[in-house]
Amino acid sequence: MSSIDPIRQNPALADELSKELDTVRETCTSCGACVKHCAFLNKYGDPFTIAGRLRSGSITEAVAFECSLCGLCEAICPQGVQPARMFLAMRRSAVDKGVAEMKPYRRLLSYEARGHSRLFAHYAIPQGCDTVLFPGCTLPGTRPAATAALTARLHELVPNLGVVLDCCHKPSHDLGRQEFFAMRFGAIRERLLKAGVSTILTACPNCTKTFRAYGDGLEIRTVYELLADAEGPAPERSAVEVMVHDPCPFRHDEPVRAASRKLLEVRRLGVHEPKRTGRRTQCCGEGGSVGCVDAALADNWTSSRLEQSEGLPIAASCAGCAAMLRRAGADAHHVLDLYFHPVETLSGTIKPSGFLAGYLNRLRYKKKLKKTIR
């Protein structure tokens, strides 16, 4: 039986996968450019080969859970092939057919569920508000000082600002739980539109990507752009340098990448560009939750990124990336920490909170919002 037999699968998802496989087979030339820079493709072959192997039944859709979905292959491909679309379709197919093992992701999915729960979610949208900050799950938990400073500064720039605490459900999206994701995110979108919200200010790259892809009717802007626009010219930089790490979701978003760099430069920090930067940025190792099923594969990306830092502190506009790199031993920081508290951050006076403290920080932030925004 074919590995994409539509009789066993949702017809729409079967059609999606079939189209992605055909597209890759028609456009990928097996030149090997992407394989040189990806441990996953080194293991399974170039996209053309993988598509053919899936068609023949020699591999199953499950191999896609070892792809980080980072999109580097697309950025490198001279033909503009988008293999990550095929790998996401494979994940969705595996989930739909009931052959995807979700046990390795229990902790991640529990984290996602808590973010959407009544305990942690909160919609602080004042009367007449059309713009809200959607800080995501990780930033308010791990970096309470930066989150507080960010909220205060945004209130100065957007006086009637609202704040929404919820999970965008990007983990479920990337794990191929498409029906569940569509239901949950769709409910968030509808609630925001019904409340009169038209603009979402995001801090998390994954939230940004999710809202831009599925938030029809909502304008999405990152806090990095808003903060950078409010700043004047950057002063002459000091001798202190940091290596900038661009999160994968910002790979094709040059304005956001430029804004993140400006926020560092206005604090007189020199920006060092690694070998893989901008559109060709490299995954920190967290992408696609690959570490849940193949820790060695994820570590390969993390180690490579650390080598490119050349011992410099790392600045990332993603709390997840910073955490992943810190766990591997890097002196990694969030761009907002360096922007609001540069001296304390670089000296180690301000450090990201741990797992349990993170939940308490989120509850404290929610409590403060309930008192200050009505």
In a domain, 175, yes or no: yes
85 and 149 fall within a common domain: no
Tokens at residue 141, please?
A: 């938990």
Residue with tokens 């309930």: 370
Domain boundary among 64, 96, 128: 96
- Residue 1 has a pLDDT of 33
- 305 & 162 share domain: no
Judge contact between 89 and 140, C-beta under 8 A.
no
Note whether 219 and 111 are same-domain residues: yes
Q: How many structural domains comprise the chain?
A: 3
The two tokens of residue 280 are 């060709």
Q: Determine the Cα–Cα distance for residues 142 and 355; give it in Å rounded to an integer.
A: 8
The percentage of residues in the chain with a pLDDT greater than 90, rounded to a whole number, is 91
- Residue 2 within any structural domain of the chain: no
Does the residue 6 lie in any domain?
no
Claim to verify: residue 29 and residue 110 sit in the same structural domain: no
> Do residue 213 and residue 126 come from a single domain?
yes
16 shares its domain with 54: yes
The answer to whether residue 5 is domain-embedded is: no
Same domain, 117 and 195: yes
Per-residue pLDDT tens digits for 8-18: 568 888 899 99
Same domain, 121 and 223: yes
Share of the chain above pLDDT 70, in %: 98
Cβ pair 323, 353 in contact under 8 A: no
Contact of 127 with 166, CB cutoff 8 Å: no
pLDDT at 11 (0 to 100): 85
pLDDT tier at 337 (50, 70, 90 boundaries)? very high
Is a pLDDT exceeding 50 seen at residue 2?
no
Q: Which of 218, 228, 271 is nearest to 246 (CA)?
A: 271
Structure-token pair, residue 47: 């996209």
Q: For residues 278 and 252, is the Cβ–Cβ distance under 8 A?
A: no
What pLDDT shows up at residue 235?
A: 83
CA distance 261 to 269: 9
Using 50, 70 and 90 to split pLDDT, how confident is the model at 6?
Answer: very low
Average pLDDT over residues 53-64: 95
Compute the distance between CA of residue 206 and CA of residue 82 in angstroms, rounded to an integer: 18
Return the pLDDT at 5.
46
Predicted local confidence at residue 326, as pLDDT: 95
Average pLDDT, the chain: 94
CATH code assigned at 149: 3.40.50
The answer to whether residues 145 and 350 touch, using CB atoms and an 8 Å cutoff, is yes
- Residue corresponding to tokens 């490579």: 304
Q: Judge if 192 and 152 occupy the same domain.
A: yes
Domain of 295?
232-347
Q: What is the pLDDT of residues 338-373, one digit of tens each?
A: 999 999 999 999 999 999 999 999 999 999 999 998
Q: How do residues 200-254 score in pLDDT, each as one tens digit?
A: 999 999 999 999 999 999 999 999 999 999 998 888 777 789 999 999 999 999 9
pTM: 0.94
Q: What is the pLDDT of residue 273?
A: 95
